Amino acid sequence: MSQLRVLVVGASIAGPMAAYWLARAGAHVTVLERFPSLRTSGQAIDIRTTGVSVMRKIPGMEAAVRAKTTGLDGISFVRDDGRPYGTIRATGNPDQQSLLSEYEIFRGDLAKILFDLSKDNENVRYVFDEQIASMQRKENEGPITVEFMNRLTTADYDLVVACDGATSKTRVMGLGGSVRDYIDPVNSWAAYFSIEQDLIKGSKLGHAVNGVGGRFLAVSSDPAGGNRVTLMSVHPRDKRDTTLPFREAMKQGDEALKRFVAQHYKGVGWKAEEVMAAMMGSRDFYANEMVQVKVPSLYKGGVALVGDAGYAPGPTGTGTTLAMTGAYVLAGEIVKHQGDLAAGLKGYEERMRPIIADMQKIPPMVLTIVAPQTAWGIWLRNNIFAFIAWTNILEYAQRIFGGAAAADTDKYGLPDYDWVA
């Protein structure tokens, strides 16, 4: 059998992970990234449940991740005057995590680890500053002819894997429709950035505060100096198009979006005013709508979807885990059905669907708990949380409200595959 030719689109988390496992399955993999170099910035992300299982199947990866974890000891929730009322900490058991993960790592650091795992493989090639211009398939069983925008020449591939995020253009080329056809909004958006100031004085505890209208702000120490900031703006699920003003500001560029965010966070309290002032000069500001992606099929023809492109989970804390799991299962099912790509893709769909369904479930009341809408709701949440923390039943509460993110590592029973390389 000739070597499978695979084009992976996107070099964040899902793409390099897919490249690693597809190469282990014996494929020749080209990874396409539209940015001129690997992006090494980004927010803190978690590796949980099946993600931990996949990580442990790669020699040296767990140690590399542990060496780059954020070093956060917990998150202290404070009132608008700065007084703390409760703290969440990791469980200390990586196989049974709390809302704070044992494997919390900055997105850029994990991307670099995954890139390093695959960049020197003779069957993996990374191409930066390149995008797909068009894809065509003349026959149902034939190769996909891909034309590129920049320097790569037109080439044929047996499989194209979309790993380019929730607004994937590759998904549109493969499945048809428009970018938002498969997006299920959760009426929320988030922003991430670093600031030079250290507003929490080197604390190993992150600090988080809420403002009315579902506004959440968290500040944590950055190992490189200064602070990392996370913002979430959460709106009721039954409201329509509440993220439209955010999306309109987003179209106007980062400076306009920063002004929108600063205006939105007026009056939150604690150190919000200082954070907003520092945000205006931040050089790694990133913001996006929080969405779920739900598609009728994880593949069509020779195009497969992995990670957020196929099943972005929204605010469940399982996006990185799903990306790592999907990459592993896709490559595993292909190697399991050697010589029959269609059977491998079908196996991928069947194996992933139950995991996706579970990890896309937004735990009951979680958005209300994270970001209450009213002053009364914030007061009530604060006092309930303070009581739970005081009575030492926080771990039990996190199991209830954490959903799939707090599940046991071995819950889903990922199979072992017989790799050929």
Q: Does the pLDDT at position 353 exceed 60?
A: yes
Provide the pLDDT for residue 302: 93
The H-or-E segment that residue 191 falls in is strand 183-195
Q: What are phi and psi of 146, to 5 degrees?
A: -115, 130
Helix (H), strand (E), coil (C) string for 11-49:
CCCHHHHHHHHHHHCCCEEEEEECCCCCCCCCCEEECCH
Q: Does the pLDDT at position 141 exceed 80?
A: no
pLDDT band at 266 (very low <50, low <70, confident <90, very high): very high
Q: Does the pLDDT at position 352 exceed 60?
A: yes
Average pLDDT over every residue of 182-205: 91
Provide the pLDDT for residue 242: 80
Provide the pLDDT for residue 96: 57
pLDDT band at 55 (very low <50, low <70, confident <90, very high): very high
Region of poorest pLDDT, from 208-217, 285-294, 331-340:
208-217
Region of poorest pLDDT, from 71-75, 129-133, 366-370:
366-370
Question: Who wins on pLDDT, 343 or 398?
Answer: 343
Instruction: Name the DSSP letter for residue 212.
Output: T
Share of the chain above pLDDT 70, in %: 89
Q: Does the pLDDT at position 333 exceed 70?
A: yes
Provide the pLDDT for residue 241: 72
Provide the pLDDT for residue 405: 47
Q: Which two tokens stand for residue 65?
A: 């991740």
From CA 131, how far away is CA 151, in angstroms rounded? 10
Residues 6 or more apart whose Cβ sits within 8 Å of residue 70: 44, 104, 105, 106, 220, 223
Q: Does the pLDDT at position 362 exceed 50?
A: yes
Torsion (CA) 141, 169, 328, 121 in degrees, nearest 10: 90
Query: How high does pLDDT run on average in the chain?
Result: 88
pLDDT in tens, 305-323: 999 999 999 988 899 999 9
Provide the pLDDT for residue 95: 59
From CA 244, how far away is CA 187, in angstroms rounded? 9
Sign of CA dihedral 322, 325, 329, 331: positive
Q: What are phi and psi of 190, to 5 degrees?
A: -140, 155
Asked if 209 and 269 touch (Cβ cutoff 8 Å), the reply is yes
Region of poorest pLDDT, from 2-16, 86-100, 246-260:
86-100
Share of the chain above pLDDT 90, in %: 61
DSSP string computed for 157-189:
ESEEEE-S-TT-HHHHHHH-S-GGGGEEEEEEE
Provide the pLDDT for residue 416: 94
Q: Does the pLDDT at position 348 exceed 80?
A: yes
Asked if 206 and 74 touch (Cβ cutoff 8 Å), the reply is yes
Question: Who wins on pLDDT, 116 or 93?
Answer: 116
- Please name the residue ranges forming H helices in 182-290: 244-251, 254-264, 272-279
Provide the pLDDT for residue 301: 87
From CA 313, how far away is CA 303, in angstroms rounded? 21
- In one-letter notation, the amino acid at residue 71 is G
